Structure formats: C-alpha cells, structure tokens
Structure 1
Amino acid sequence: MGSPVLIPFQSFIIIDRDSATSVYMQIANQLINAVQRGYLIKGTKLPGTRVLSEILEVHRKTIVAVYDELDSQGWVETRPNKGTFVLSRNDSKPSHFQPLAQNKLATYPGNTGYSFKKSSLLDNPFEHSKCEYIFNDGTPDIRLTQIEHLSRLYSSSMKRRSNRRKLGYYNQDGSEYFKENLSNFLNLSRGLHISKNNLLITRSTEMSVYIISEILLAANDIVLVASLSYFSVNMIFQKSGARILQVPIDNEGIQVDAVRDLCGKHRVRMLYLTPHHHYPTTVTLSAQRRIELLELANEFGFVILEDDYDYDFHYDKSAVLPLASADTNGMVIYVGSFGKSLAPGFRTGFIVAPENLMDEMRKYLGIIDRQGDVLMEQVLGEMIDEGEIHRHLKKSIKVYHQRRDTFTALLENNFKDYLQFKKPSGGLAVWAEWQLPINLLQLSTSCAKDNLFIPKTLLYQNRQLSAMRLGFGHLDEAEMQHSVAILLHHVKKFS
C-alpha cells in the first residue's frame, strides 16, 4: 500500500466553518462517504493524527475525535504500532448509511458514459515488428547521430547560468535565439530571404501541416496532390473536410498541364508538393515546371504547400533550391524539418511564411504546444551558431552516399530481372517498381516469417502499378546484404 500522505484528502474533504455540524463530524462523514464510494478501499492506511491535522489545517484533537467516531461506527480499525486502516463494508455493518455500488472508484472506467465522434480517417497506419531486419520509409541511422555528444551539449546548456532563467519562461512563438540562427541557416542553405519573423517552430511536419490546414482549409475546399502522395498529410487534409484531387506524375515530377486543367474546372485552394524528392517516387521536380507552377499559383490564386522533408540529403550534385526561394508574391508556404540527421528527440519542424499568416499560425501553436522545448531549441541554435550542424551533416552525408551506392548495387545485382529503379540523387529511400506479377502484401507477410519486416505503408499496388519504397539509410552494409537476401529468397518463391 502506498504512503497515506499521497492521498489527496483536501480534494474530497471540505470544511465549512460556518456549518452547524461540528468540524470533526464533517470530516468523519466525508471520510465515510469516500469509503462508500470506493475511493478509500479496504486496507488503505490513513495518516497519523498529527499528519492529517496538518493536511486539513485542524487541531490534532479534532482528528483524534474523527478516528474515534470512525472506529465506533466500524469503518476503520486501529492496529497497535501499525496505524489506522480502512475496513470494507462487508467487515463493517454501520446502521446509519446505505452502501453504494461496490468499489466504483477502485478501478478506472472501461468506457465513457457519453458519446463522441470517431474518425476512421485518422486510424494509425503504422505497423511495428520485432523482426531483426526492417525496410522503412527512409529514415536516418540513429547510430550515426553522436548521442553522447548531443547529450553533452544538452547537459552543458542546461547547466549554463545564462540559460537557467529561460527555463521558467517560454515565449510560445519559439526561442528567438533558435529562430534567428535557423533563419540564417535556411537563407544560406536554401536560398531564402527570411527573418526570424517568418518562422514558426513546430514539433514535426505533420503538426505544421495541421496548423496550416486549420487556418487555410474549409469544408469542400479542393486540395491537389500527386497521384502518389504522403498518406499522413492526406489524412490531415481529409480531416479538415477538404476534397483531394490527384494529379499525375512522371519523371519530371507533377504534371503542370494537369494542374492547369483542374484549375480550369475547379476553384483550387491548395497544391501540396514534395518537389525536391517527390514522396514516394523520389523524382525531382524540373526547374521549368517549378517556374510554371509559381505562375499558375499567381494566375489562379491557390496556395502552394511545399514540403521539403529531406532537403539535407543530396549526393550527386547541389540541391535544387525550393520554390519558396523564387516566390515573390507570397503564394508558397514552406515546411520542413531541422535536425533530421540527428537523434529523434533533437528534431523539430518549421514553417516559413509571410508575416501576416505567421501571426495567425502563432495563435494555433499557442493552443496546441504553448510550452515548446526551450532546452532543445537552445541546443539546436548553438549547433548552428557554432557550425556543429554543418560538420555533422558533412560526415553523415558521406556515409549515406556510400549506403545509397551499396544498396542500389545490391538491387541491381540481385533483382535486375525483377525490379526497375533509378538511383536517387538524394534522400534515404529507393523507389522500386516490380516487373513481375506479385502480391506485395503476401510477399511482406512471407518475409516477416523469415525475420524481415516490410510495413504495408511501403507497398503501392493497383492495376497499373506494383512498387515499393525501400529505405536504406538505417542499414549498414551487412544488414543490407541480409535484408536483400531474404527478400530475394521470398520473391523467387512467388515468381
């Protein structure tokens, strides 16, 4: 039994000093009621008379009288040298009170006593497995994230005297220090021209999209997405009541002519893009199409929501600058994540937008994430300020570049008769299209029996397409070889 001092007596014992009923009887009656309701169950040890008198701010003799009254009615028993304990109603049969339902408060309710809306749109699509080998969506390897170094940065930041006073106060707009450094980082790396006033710090890309949708989307607004798009973002759009229309994609990204046709038929509110490496196919939106989309946004007045989810990972050439860097009319909202190459707890999302929209978004952030994480933002700001993030990215990019080459070589050597793919110029995943009829869900189930997990969120299959998005960033060479060998074994079983 836990300490009796931890029981919140003040929450269910209220003393009315003006009542005609004596104080000790008020306390006794309310304790009896707590036992009847099952709040104080059989065997609960009550505090000593001195302790309870201090908790309730009454004289100790008052509590002595309370315990005497409870003992005389059979609600408690006093055990020498042990204390005062609650009896059950089966053990005590007082004549003055009728027992209520048996121990209702002794367990938490299994169901609500009221109705509420349920959403099938937000059902969790993610799966988990204990398999030793896993293909994922294209995530970094936590083993490369220098956990000990990050821990030292976090610890030293927390101990620094100049930062201690910041722990007691947090501006819901985010750390000004971090925003200033992040805006400089984005300007240098992405060709933007922003200040800290154009930034909103969030927990993730999904939170960013949620806030944007709450402000910009209404029921039946039309949102254009690529025919293959990020499922979590689509779920957010649908939850907002928007209508999603799909636009075909090809080797140059989303087809601009199809966007124009839809704008001619509908009043389009938003176009969602992942232009740097399209999700899930990894193709890069061509420079010409970027210009054409900006012109269309200006002509038809729709918002471009640009999601640059893996901008940091590019290998063969310089990264293509985002659409936001060429936007002169305020039509592009740019979202991304900072610190994706770091440990998950050190990553954060951000939104870049004109200041008038930023003012409104801060209101929503103040409701859903008022406290933020001042320590993490301080550490991330210091990593930018001291150049640590650049050094870390430079090291990790070399590793992921080599892993991309190793993984694509393994696919080429083992699956050239089964798969068609292009070596991605960046990112941490390969888009692979199957050249033989095969049930991908059955293949995934079969591989799981052999210790390789392929989540259903990586499988894309319909009458026209049979493909997988295979992440390699989290796998070292030996893990890649084992994973590919298991996949090949089970593909041959189905072919």
Structure 2
Amino acid sequence: MSSPAKIPFLSFIQLDRNAKTPIFLQLAQQLINAIQRGYLMPGSKMPGSRTLSELLQLHRKTVIAAYEDLHHQGWIAIHPNKGAYIMDNKTNSERPYDALVSLAHYPTQTGYSFKQSSILDDPFEQATCHYQFNDGSPDIRLTQVHYLSGLYSASMKRKNMRQKMSASSSQDGMYFKEQLSNYLNISRGLHISKNNLLITRSTEMSLYIIAQLLIEQGDTVFVGELSLFTANMIFHKAGAHIKTLPVDENGIDVDHLAEKLKTSKVRMVYITPHHHYPTTVTLSAQRRVQLLQLAQEYGFIIVEDDYDYDFQYEKSTVMPLASADLSGMVIYVGSFGKSLAPSFSTGFVVAPQNLIHEMQKYMGILDRQGDLVMEQVLGEMIAEGDIHRHLKKSLKVYLERRNNCCALLAKHFTTQLSFNVPTGGLAIWAEWNTPISLLKLAKDCRTKDLFIPKNILYQNKKTTAMRIGFGHLTTEEMERSLEIMSSCLVG
C-alpha cells in the first residue's frame, strides 16, 4: 500500500481561511467527503497529524481537532501508538458511518433527462470470428505501416511543424490543400483551387456538416431505393424527409425524379454515381447530364459521394458529375488515402468557395485543430508521387482478388447467386435467385467461424442480396469463407 502521505490531499482539500466555519471543521468535512467519494478508502491509514499539518500548512492542533471530530462521528478509528484508520463499514460498529451511503462509485445514470436517438444507433457489429465479410474495405496488410509511421515521425520533429501545431492560423493545412486540389484536378477532371476544399476527418463528418448547414426541418432529400445507411441516418437526424428513387442497371432513375419534381419541392439528392452503394452500378452518362439539368432548373443540391473512385480496374474512367458542373449545384464528397491504413485517411468536400467558407465555421467548432502532421504527410505523399505508386501496386492486388472472388462465387453458387463483375470498388453485389433467410444464414455461418454483419445483408419483398467485400481477404481466406457459406446452405 502506498504511503498515505503520497495521497494527493491538496487536490481535494481546499480550505478558506476567510470563511466563518472554523478551519478544523472545514478539514473534517472535506475529509468526510473524500471518504465518501472513495479518494480515501475504508481500512487505509491516515497520515500522521504532523505530516498532514506540514502538507496543508496548518497548526498541528488544528489537524488533531479535525481527527478527533472524525473519530467522534465514526469516520475514523484512532489506535494509540498505531495511528488513525478510516473505518471499514464491514466491521461491526454502531457508528453513524455504517448507515451512510458511500459515494465511491460513479453514478450509473444521469439525474436529469435528455434526448436519446434511436436513429444514430451504431449499425456496425463486431465479432471474433477468424473469417469476416464486410461491405468493401481495403486490406491494411498491403500498407507499408513502418514507412508511414516514419514519415509521420519525421514530420513531427520539424521545427516549422511545432510552430504550426502551437498556432491556430487559418493558413495551417494549406500545403495539403494545394497538393490535394492538384491531385483531384488531375485524377478527376476538376477545376478547383485550395479555396474550394474543406478537409474533414471522414466522409461521415463531411455529410454531417453538409446536413447541418443545408437541411432544414421537413426538407425533402432523395436517395437511392437502396442507399448508404450512414448517410440516411445523418439526413434523417437533421430533420429531412427521406424519399427514394428506383435503381436499375443504369443507376438511379432520373426520370422518376423528374416526375416528382413537377409536384414536390426537393432540397437535395444524394448519389453515389461512380459505383452506386450498395449495388455497384454506374450512373449512365445520359442520366448524369439529365440530373445536372434538373438541378439547375429546379434548384436542388446534388451531393455526390465518390467513396471508391481510387479503386478502378478498367482503362476508361467515368468522371464525377462535379467535373461537368458549371452552375455550382454539386457538392463533391470523398476520402483521400482510403487505400492506406484507416488512421492515415482523411475526408474532403469540394464546393464553391462561398459554401466552403461557411462550412469552415462548423469545422472551427467540431475540429478546429485538425491533424496538421497527418495532412503534411499526405501532402508530401502526393508531391513525391508515393500515393500513385502505392495505388498502382494495390490495384493489382485488388484486381486479382476481385477476379478470384467472382470465380469462387460462380464455383460455389452456380445456380443460387447472380452478380455482375464490378468495374471498380472493393465489393460485389450478389443477388439470390431463390429467396432465403439471410439472417439465418449469417447465424449459421457464425457457428463455423465466419462473421457476416447485418449491414451487408439486404432483404425485403423484392430483394434478397448481399454486398460482399473482397478487398480485405486473401485468396485462401476468400476460398474458406465462401466454403463455409456454401456448407451452411447445404446444411
């Protein structure tokens, strides 16, 4: 047991020498409170009167008087030649301490009411199974973590970085914005500057700020009939009425939207046009043009979430809607560094400068400092070409894994599943030809060490499908995972 003299008495004993209450009574009361709150535990020895008087800069007789008061109240026991000990309420005693409630445990609930949201309940599940599916995430094992940590460490040690970290200048992070704007212009056909960028922690943070700034209670937001659940949660929480658009092999049905616009006022349309989430289909060029024309005519906002643009396997690429937007109707949302370790990824928003300026006010409250070191590292990776080299190597691996996953699905589920080979991304949309209970399948697979989370399962009257991520699984892991799923169907 540590010496009682080492207990930080000065942190919980504050004496007011100008108060009317005598000092010894103040000391006794605050020691009682410390016992109740567990700072001084039952059975422990109190410091000697001389030690405590020196620590608190009090006369020794004052401490003795306080101890005597505690003894008479039953809070401590004084043993001659041994010292004072805090009473243990487990021992037999008629002292009033036994009847008092200890405050040594932190409250389990608040003493006041507050709003609780079921909308924001965490949709993600966790499991300890050896094999796990997800909705399409990169494999951290492909990242040179030691190399990234070296870049981060080197950046931390620079003198100019220390100055940036201790300041709150609006110019901080401009280097990364300059590099990222150049990167986006080259890779996505945009025509932006650093002033058109907002750097966030994640796509979810980007969408949250957009929703808080642009959505009023009762506004209508259109999304795909099947859509990204986290985006829907954010828009719903902001007070939007969410309505859906049918999705086919050419993406969202823009003709259906055009009909709705004739009778309804629409504030926003949220899309994932490059590879629609979760079905992976690409919005056709004709529908892209039509959607931009409708936005200009009716004045609604297009939020374009390009969550997996970096993962493309075909030589011909489809440019974002934002690259063809001349009227300022598109807000382009994405993430940079998604192929790296998760902590090295960052979100961004591309929009006209006046909107970015307003969004920056929200960032000033949510995340004023940001991660300047990380932004510096990512900026250097763009400038030095490291990100291009990493993506090139990673894409070869992911292309092989896509082809392997498709071959295994065809092998194990020849007549049971239908799917198209995706042109990009890290997941395959697989529809069951004959409806089955997906929840039962997931439950059965879990008993065989394969975890299938609920967020990749889609089942209603019209659809029985799964979004199977392949990016994080090696050939052997994917083979074993699909073998388990196939065996559960047979069983």
Would the TM-score normalized by the shorter structure come out above 0.5? yes
Counterparts of 1:339 and 1:4, CA distance in 2: 52
State the Cα deviation string for residues 156-189 of structure 1 (Å, max 9, x = none). Answer: 2222233222332345786222222212211221
Counterpart pick for 1:155 among 150, 153, 161 = 153
Structure 2 counterpart of 1:102? 101
Structure 2 counterpart of 1:353? 351
Distance verdict in 2 for CA 1:121–1:2, change over 3 Å: farther
Counterparts of 1:271 and 1:316, CA distance in 2: 28
Counterparts of 1:287 and 1:80, CA distance in 2: 92
CA contact (8 A) 1:306 1:334 kept: yes
Point out the more displaced range, 476-485 or 444-453: 444-453
Structure 1 counterpart of 2:273? 275
Structure 2 counterpart of 1:200? 198
Distance verdict in 2 for CA 1:26–1:301, change over 3 Å: same
Give secondary structure in 2 for the equivalent of 1:106.
coil
Counterparts of 1:59 and 1:398, CA distance in 2: 74
Counterpart pick for 1:212 among 210, 213, 217 = 210
CA contact (8 A) 1:458 1:468 kept: yes
Point out the more displaced range, 77-86 or 315-324: 77-86
Distance verdict in 2 for CA 1:470–1:50, change over 3 Å: farther
- The TM-score, its normalising length taken from structure 2, stands at 0.91
Point out the more displaced range, 260-269 or 411-420: 411-420
Structure 2 counterpart of 1:459? 457
Distance verdict in 2 for CA 1:5–1:196, change over 3 Å: farther
Counterpart pick for 1:261 among 259, 262, 265 = 259
Structure 1 counterpart of 2:43? 43
Counterparts of 2:273 and 2:459, CA distance in 1: 23
CA contact (8 A) 1:208 1:350 kept: yes
Q: CA deviation at 1:39?
A: 5.3
Counterparts of 2:252 and 2:79, CA distance in 1: 78
State the Cα deviation string for residues 76-115 of structure 1 (Å, max 9, x = none). Answer: 45789998643346779899x8887410x21111222222
Counterparts of 1:82 and 1:200, CA distance in 2: 66
Give secondary structure in 2 for the equivalent of 1:246.
strand
Counterparts of 1:458 and 1:482, CA distance in 2: 19
Give secondary structure in 2 for the equivalent of 1:359.
helix
1:385-404 to 2 correspondences below 5 Å: 385-404=383-402
Q: What letter is aligned with 2:101?
A: Q
Q: What letter is aligned with 2:440?
A: Q
Q: CA deviation at 1:64?
A: 4.8
Structure 1 counterpart of 2:486? 488
Counterparts of 2:296 and 2:397, CA distance in 1: 41
Give secondary structure in 1 for the equivalent of 2:468.
strand
1:1-80 to 2 correspondences below 5 Å: 9-10=9-10, 12-35=12-35, 40-44=40-44, 46=46, 56=56, 58-59=57-58, 61=60, 64-65=63-64, 68-69=67-68, 73=72, 75-76=75-76
Structure 2, unaligned runs of 5 or more: none
Distance verdict in 2 for CA 1:17–1:391, change over 3 Å: same
CA contact (8 A) 1:208 1:349 kept: yes
Give secondary structure in 1 for the equivalent of 2:279.
coil
Give secondary structure in 2 for the equivalent of 1:470.
strand
Point out the more displaced range, 19-28 or 151-160: 19-28
Distance verdict in 2 for CA 1:187–1:13, change over 3 Å: same
Point out the more displaced range, 369-378 or 31-40: 31-40
Q: CA deviation at 1:49?
A: 6.7
Counterparts of 1:184 and 1:6, CA distance in 2: 58
Structure 2 counterpart of 1:342? 340
Calculate percent identity across the aligned residue pairs: 58
State the Cα deviation string for residues 290-314 of structure 1 (Å, max 9, x = none). Answer: 1111111000000000001011000
Structure 2 counterpart of 1:422? 420
CA contact (8 A) 1:219 1:240 kept: yes
Distance verdict in 2 for CA 1:367–1:436, change over 3 Å: same
Point out the more displaced range, 59-68 or 481-490: 59-68
Structure 2 counterpart of 1:285? 283
State the Cα deviation string for residues 100-137 of structure 1 (Å, max 9, x = none). Answer: 7410x211112222222222211222111211111110
Q: CA deviation at 1:356?
A: 1.5
Distance verdict in 2 for CA 1:88–1:210, change over 3 Å: same
Counterparts of 2:319 and 2:238, CA distance in 1: 30
Point out the more displaced range, 164-173 or 74-83: 74-83
Structure 2 counterpart of 1:445? 443
Distance verdict in 2 for CA 1:172–1:370, change over 3 Å: farther
Counterpart pick for 2:227 among 226, 229, 233 = 229
Structure 1 counterpart of 2:245? 247
Structure 1, unaligned runs of 5 or more: none
Counterparts of 1:475 and 1:82, CA distance in 2: 66
Q: CA deviation at 1:432?
A: 0.8
Q: CA deviation at 1:30?
A: 2.3
Distance verdict in 2 for CA 1:207–1:49, change over 3 Å: farther
Distance verdict in 2 for CA 1:63–1:183, change over 3 Å: farther
Counterparts of 2:49 and 2:157, CA distance in 1: 42
**Cα RMSD (Å):** 2.8
1:123 aligns to 2:135 (yes or no): no
Counterparts of 2:143 and 2:313, CA distance in 1: 19
Counterparts of 1:304 and 1:40, CA distance in 2: 60
Counterparts of 2:459 and 2:291, CA distance in 1: 29
